[in-house]
Amino acid sequence: MENRITDLEIRLTHQEAALEEMNDVLLTQHTLIGKLQDDLTRLRGQLQDNNTGDVTEQVNEPPPPHY
């Protein structure tokens, strides 16, 4: 009976360690996802800023001499 209790305590300790490790990974991923979302929002804004008005000006421009 004593061996079974010891085995259960060992298993519980390993499960607690695994749970703590998974929690750390989850927090790291959460932080990274937040940063990536911020970067994506910023890049979308830059892309929209670059695309406003430039397209019509390029259409009216004559082709370069090598055409």
Give pLDDT tens digits for 11-61: 999 999 999 999 999 999 999 999 999 999 999 999 999 887 555 556 677
How far apart CA 40 and CA 19 sit, in angstroms, is 31
The pLDDT confidence band at residue 64, using thresholds 50, 70 and 90, is confident
> Could you tell me the two tokens for 5?
């209790």
> Could you tell me the two tokens for 40?
């994506």
How far apart CA 66 and CA 35 sit, in angstroms, is 44
Residue 46, classified by CB atoms within 10 Å of its CB into exposed (0-12), middle (13-18) or buried (19+), is exposed
**Amino acid symbol at 6:** T
pLDDT number for residue 47: 93
